[in-house]
């Protein structure tokens, strides 16, 4: 069969993608190194990498003064700033937006407080303001963004809505994908916050070595995100991880134990009460330790249900309460031992409250990568939906 022009062009594109793959995640590389990584010939790599530089996908690392005798070989690197993505966490108490380049280098992180009682339009207007601030401070426009992922609380259906349940007032009617779609022409996806935080732990957190992960988003509400065989478990209708909705597993009421405790200042606000209890427990206060033990005893029922159902390698304790993992993990481990046939490792998240936005960045980067594979390498511009 004769090779057609289309075949040739597709083959060239595949070879370019293989050079991009050989550049990414590596230090600046010589043509010889790229040839060895890609399996292509040195002369072919030379031509391909020149065209990637011309198109804006790669750049030359100018050789610095070095002690090497003779002219050092020219080195190339992936031009990570060719495009950028946004990870947006629309939380109950905060809006957090992270701007990242194509290599996952975080360029800007901006956070504004949000009012728990804010209506959807108000909350989305606040999102717009944070996005404006991020883009302006980075000197960018909406057209420079290649993919946007938004994290929200509650199970997210295929349309990006949380119609089944949401703790945000009126939010089940909100359509954040459509709202952001009016200013961004690139793909905009919406995902559940616990799922994104789980993705973040496997990407940059404490579960990078694990393929089977139960992630707990622990705070005044408790949620779960599941990664099984290395893949985020979304569920047939996007509602995986919602075990906390079942009364019998006690997540609905577990944090109540942290809301009152003898000796707590009457002035402590809802969000501060738990922090006070955790600190008092850390300081050895007996009542506070009892409150934390009751919290972990109830929390452990739902965790044990997930562990017994899925037999994960790792359980990650994340979310707002993970700052107090030092007083939670011990009692939680003891409680789980009572219920479970096989104990997983229990680890505390270190990503703090950026985990949801960070997972959103990761999914947005995945979206860019899948577009590269399916659409190939035109000169770098934002993809369109």
In this chain, which stretch among 117-125, 141-149, 333-341, 374-382 interacts with a second copy, using CB under 8 A? 333-341
Regarding 339 and contact with a second copy (CB under 8 A), the answer is: yes
- Distance CA(47)–CA(40), nearest Å, equals 11
96: three-class secondary structure by DSSP: strand
Distance CA 346, CA 330 (A): 9
Nearer to a second copy, 40 or 306 (CB): 306
Residue 253 sits at φ, ψ, to 5 deg, of: -110, -15
- Residues 301, 345: Cα–Cα separation, whole Å: 17
* φ, ψ (nearest 5 deg) of residue 148: -130, 130
**Site for a second copy (CB under 8 A): which residue of 8, 11, 136, 248?**
248
Find, among 371, 382, 352, the residue nearest to 96 by Cα.
Answer: 352
**Minimum CB separation from a second copy for residue 239, in Å?**
4
Q: What is the C-alpha to C-alpha distance for residues 75 and 194, in angstroms, rounded to an integer? A: 41
CA dihedral for 123, 128, 129, 134, sign (positive or negative): positive
Selection from 218, 187, 213 nearest residue 200 by Cα: 213
The answer to whether 344 contacts a second copy (rule: CB under 8 A) is yes
To the nearest whole angstrom, how small is the minimum distance from the Cβ of residue 242 to a second copy? 5
The residue within the footprint of a second copy, chosen from 8, 73, 245, 378 (CB under 8 A), is 245
C-beta of 358: minimal distance to a second copy in Å?
24
For residue 191, the cross-strand partners are: 151
341 touches a second copy by CB under 8 A: yes
In whole angstroms, what is the distance from residue 183 CA to residue 345 CA?
A: 43
* Residue 23 binds to a second copy (criterion: CB under 8 A): no
According to CB under 8 A, which residues from 299 to 328 bind a second copy?
301, 304-306, 308-313
Pick from 133, 212, 366, 369: which binds a second copy (CB under 8 A)? 212
Residue 233 within binding range of a second copy, rule CB under 8 A: yes
Among 46, 55, 242, 366, binds a second copy (CB under 8 A): 242
Residue numbers at the binding site for a second copy (CB under 8 A): 155, 164-165, 212, 224, 226, 228-229, 231, 233-250, 301, 304-306, 308-313, 339-342, 344
């Amino acid at each position: 069969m004769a090779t057609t022009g289309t075949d040739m062009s597709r083959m060239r594109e595949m070879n370019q993608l293989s050079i991009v793959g050989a550049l990414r995640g590596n230090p600046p590389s010589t043509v010889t190194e790229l040839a060895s990584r890609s399996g292509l010939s040195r002369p072919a790599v030379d031509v391909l990498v020149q065209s990637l530089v011309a198109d804006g996908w790669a750049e030359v690392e100018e050789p610095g003064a070095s002690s090497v005798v003779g002219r050092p070989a020219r080195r190339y690197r992936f031009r990570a700033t060719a495009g950028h993505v946004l990870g947006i966490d629309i939380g109950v108490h905060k809006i957090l937006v992270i701007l990242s380049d194509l290599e996952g280098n975080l360029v800007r992180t901006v956070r504004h407080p949000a009012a728990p009682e804010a209506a959807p339009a108000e909350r989305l207007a606040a999102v717009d303001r944070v996005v404006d601030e991020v883009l302006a401070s980075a000197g960018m426009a909406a057209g420079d963004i290649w993919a946007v992922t938004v994290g929200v609380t509650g199970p997210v259906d295929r349309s990006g809505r949380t119609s089944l349940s949401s703790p945000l007032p009126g939010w089940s009617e909100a359509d954040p994908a459509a709202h952001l779609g009016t200013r961004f022409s690139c793909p905009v996806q919406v995902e559940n916050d616990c799922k994104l935080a789980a993705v973040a732990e496997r990407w940059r957190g404490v579960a990078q070595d694990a393929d089977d992960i139960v992630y707990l988003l622990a705070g005044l509400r408790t949620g779960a995100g599941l990664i099984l065989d290395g893949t985020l478990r979304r569920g047939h209708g996007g509602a995986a991880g919602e075990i906390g909705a079942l009364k019998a597993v006690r997540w609905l009421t577990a944090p109540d134990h942290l809301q009152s405790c003898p000796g707590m200042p009457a002035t402590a606000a809802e969000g501060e009460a738990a922090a006070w209890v955790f600190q008092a427990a850390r300081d050895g206060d007996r009542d506070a330790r009892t409150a934390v033990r009751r919290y972990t005893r109830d929390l452990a029922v739902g965790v044990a249900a997930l562990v017994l159902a899925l037999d994960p390698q790792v359980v990650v304790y994340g979310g707002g309460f993970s700052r107090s993992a030092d007083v939670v993990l011990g009692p939680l481990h003891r409680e789980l031992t009572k219920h479970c046939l096989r104990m997983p490792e229990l680890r505390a998240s270190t990503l703090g409250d950026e985990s949801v936005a960070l997972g959103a960045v990761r999914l947005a980067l995945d979206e860019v990568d899948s577009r590269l594979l399916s659409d190939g390498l035109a000169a770098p511009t934002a993809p369109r939906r």
